[in-house]
Chain A
Amino acid sequence: MSTKILFDRIDEPGLNTLPVYERRGGYESLRKALSMPPEDVLSQLMDSNIRGRGGAGFPMGRKVSFLPHGDMDKYLVCNADESEPGTFKDRELMQKTPHMLIEGIMIAAYAGGISRAFIYIRGEYQLQADILEAAIAEAANAGYIGERILGSDFSCSLVLHRGAGAYICGEETGLLDSLEGKRGNPRLKPPFPAIEGLYAGPTLINNVETLSTAPAIIRMGGAEYAKHGTETSTGTKLISISGDVKRPGNYEIELGIPSREIIYGLAGGPPSGKKVKFWFPGGSSSPVLTGDDLDIPYDFDSMAKAGTMLGSGAIIIADESRRVLDTMLKVVKFYAHESCGKCVPCREGTNWTHKMVQRIYAGEATPMDLDIMASVQEQIIGNCLCVLGDAMAMPVGSMVKKFRAELEAEIEAARERADHAAVEDVVALGVADEHAGPLPVH
């Protein structure tokens, strides 16, 4: 049995209410944190070496330490706009143990000297938002949120903000614009949000899972938490497995275990004994891996070494009966739809890639299109304000690279189908009768 830090007895009835959470020792970590100076709380977070769970994997403690000191309006934004395809871990946390997130937010706010906190939740999560709203009201009534929390000098407010369905608002600066009531367009960085973020004030932005871990870090001590996982990827991680597996769902694992153990051990592998053809190790933005890569340890650095990324910890499995082209179309269509349109390489690159994939289906593509497609991806990466374009370019580029033979065969097959259809059209029109010999193809 592996360690459960976030998922510890998460299905307990009524855990979403304050009495049950308090009975299990809830808000004790906040009490403990408030009895320490903020610098000590920060050093505990630094010692834990926990890396951001939203996708980028930046150490949380360092992010807090970037905030300027002094008496000013500082903001904390919890990124609950979980819209990376394949990811659904935050949903389970917010639905079942919302108070853990609230406690974590208050601890992080105390460490950073923050007085205003926001949770930006995606608009589609209505059930989770309702539960969180009820939990925030409960916690505020009990004195865990608001003025002079638990009799200390620390005050912090917390507001739940519902989004309205835009993937780009999961990007931190797009999220800030959206929270300010604008269209969710990403901003130029630097200045980074830690210096100039929400309402142009210093802002700490963290994922739901990262913040939910803070109470455990304070309870266990940062050094103790760092003993879990590997040296550079400490702690436990929630992973979401979906697609062709027997038991899709959220699992809490220690970072560094072999991927095969997750895919076959926990999730049961593809149904009816098929082999894994390709899989996304960290959401649809991560370059795909093949069935040969199942023994790579599941942690931030090993995934980076394998040319992909751990991202949000969302594993999508496709078995050998699946066509790469179909998944490619879904990926490309998604990013073309969600591109905010601010930067040209992303706006045009995603749309043209979508058109090129459609050309393959229509039988109008040649193998040369794959080269063009690959070069388009190279032109996108690193040339935009945010990484939405890169998030399409990386998986598509890796699919072209790793499944080129299959894609070329698809192109040929589609061309042949289109040619046949064209000949049949001509025959149907009766033009064929005028030909003396066999029909010229093309």
Chain B
Amino acid sequence: MSFGDRRTSPDLTGDLQWRRGEDLRDPENARFRVPRFGHGSRVPGWDEAVDLTKDPAVIPDPATTPVPEELRREIEELMAKYPDRRSASIPALHAAQAVHGWCSPQAIDQVACVMRLTPAYLTSVASFYDMFKLTPKAHNDVFVCTNISCSLLGADEFHEAMVAAAEGEDINVASFECLGACDIGPMASVNGEYVGPLQLADAAQIVEDLRAGRPVLAAKQLRYRRCQDPDVQAEGDDFGPPSDAPRADTAGLTHLEAKTDRPGEEGAPTEIPPQTKDDA
């Protein structure tokens, strides 16, 4: 079994929970089929040394690494904003993730090629931050905050309801650390748009709104919330939300036509080529 399979395997840290009595090393257990070496481990054993005859991965060659023109221009503009081009690595990965749907090996290669950095360096950055996904994911993100304030008000129950409602849909539901909107707890970020306070019934509504491609839970969006300070409220009723700011909540659907790197999807490469020579 090669390392290449690992990228298509299920994300073990996600919704797969170990059940009591289940043997994780059981090769017959389909829920946990993970690429493994002959001795059953996920990493090479002590007797399988790193192949020192292979060269380490280098900065991808522009001649053999096609980069979408728009993405290249965006990354180049980002690099120009900083005294050191490395500073643009997080914004550039954001841009690449928006194009590819996740930080796929191709996405990382393309960013590395434009920024003249090694894929290893960018992978180390991408794996540090929660918003970058190194495994294929659904188009729509629903991050449910399950931190202290929200969980006091029932966020864990809502998270369960949301997972159930999103079953079989193109929606990635994750419990997230504090999103900075405890005043509307329990809350969730749907493709970046903050909504709350949520009730259990809202889970189905979120799915429906996403499917219809309309603003999600428009009445519960944070952008329309007024300041709670009573002395501020006394200033008058003509409150205007920042409506001219771009909307985020339907972003996932507008990208549906975009070419993505999800294996098995039409237009996506059927087999992910090895990212580096070492990976083969």
Contact = CB atoms under 8 A, between A and B. Distances in A.
A11 B226 contact: yes
Nearest to B87: A181
A164 to B, nearest CB: 4
Contact of A240 (B84, B182, B223, B239): B182
B228 interface: yes
A244 B180 contact: no
Contacts of A92: 227
A10 interface: yes
B111 to A, nearest CB: 11
B193 interface: yes
Contacts of B129: 123, 163-166, 184
A126 B178 contact: no
Contact of A251 (B84, B125, B228): B228
A9 B131 contact: no
Contacts of A167: 177
B177 A334 contact: yes
Contact of B245 (A83, A134, A248): A134
Contact of A12 (B84, B87, B194, B235): B235
A86 B143 CA distance: 17
- What size tier do the contact residues of chain A reach? 35 or more
A41 interface: no
Contacts of A127: 192-194, 222-223, 242, 245, 248
Contacts of B238: 13
Interface in A101-138: 116, 122-127, 130-131, 134
Given A84-B178, A161-B91, A182 B81 contact: no
B15 interface: no
A13 B240 contact: yes
Contact of B152 (A9, A17, A184, A244): A244
B161 interface: no
B242 A337 contact: no
Say whether chain B's binding surface is mostly helix, strand, loop, or mixed.
loop
A11 B151 contact: no
A151 interface: no
Contact of B183 (A199, A240, A338): A240
A155 B189 CA distance: 38
B253 interface: no
Interface string B188-226: 010011100000000000000000000000000011001
Nearest to A238: B229
Interface stretch (A57-65, A214-222, A299-307, A323-331): A323-331
A7 B128 contact: no
Contact of A85 (B177, B223, B242): B177
A83 B178 contact: yes
A116 B84 CA distance: 13
A124 B174 CA distance: 14
Nearest to B242: A16
Interface string B225-249: 0111111111110111010111010
Interface string B66-101: 000000000000000111101111110110000000
Given A161-B87, A249-B228, A166 B128 contact: yes
B125 A316 contact: no
A124 B148 contact: no
Contacts of B272: none
Nearest to B184: A248
B185 interface: yes
A76 interface: no
A85 B152 CA distance: 13
A162 B91 contact: yes
B181 A88 contact: yes
B148 A86 contact: yes
A316 B240 CA distance: 29
A249 B223 contact: no
Nearest to B241: A13
Interface string A34-57: 000000000000000000000000
Contact of B90 (A178, A241, A247, A316): A178
B166 interface: no
A68 interface: no
Contacts of B235: 9, 11-12
A331 B177 CA distance: 10
B183 A249 contact: yes
A164 B125 CA distance: 10
B72 to A, nearest CB: 18
A249 B229 CA distance: 8
Which one of B91, B182, B184 has the greatest number of beta carbons of chain A within 10 Å?
B182
A250 B131 contact: no
B125 A181 contact: yes
A354 interface: no
Nearest to A331: B148
A2 interface: yes
Interface string A162-204: 1111110000000000111111100000000000000100000
Nearest to B125: A183
Interface in A265-290: 266, 280, 284
Nearest to B85: A181
Contacts of A249: 183, 227-229
A242 B183 contact: yes
B180 A91 contact: yes
B140 to A, nearest CB: 14
Interface string B246-276: 1010000000000000000000000000000
A362 B96 CA distance: 43
Which one of B81, B83, B93 has the greatest number of beta carbons of chain A within 10 Å?
B83
Nearest to B90: A164
A316 B182 contact: yes
Interface in B131-154: 131-132, 143, 146-149, 151-153
A334 B178 contact: yes
B185 A181 contact: no
The 3 closest A-B pairs by CB, nearest first: A13-B240, A249-B228, A242-B182
6 contacts: A12-B240, A83-B178, A123-B94, A127-B245, A181-B89, A334-B178
Given A9-B232, A334-B178, 9 more contacts: A11-B233, A13-B238, A83-B177, A90-B180, A127-B248, A178-B90, A181-B87, A284-B147, A327-B148
Interface of A: 1-2, 4, 7-14, 16-17, 73, 82-88, 90-92, 95-96, 116, 122-127, 130-131, 134, 159, 161-167, 178-184, 199, 240-244, 247-252, 266, 280, 284, 314, 316, 318, 322, 326-327, 330-331, 334, 337-338, 340
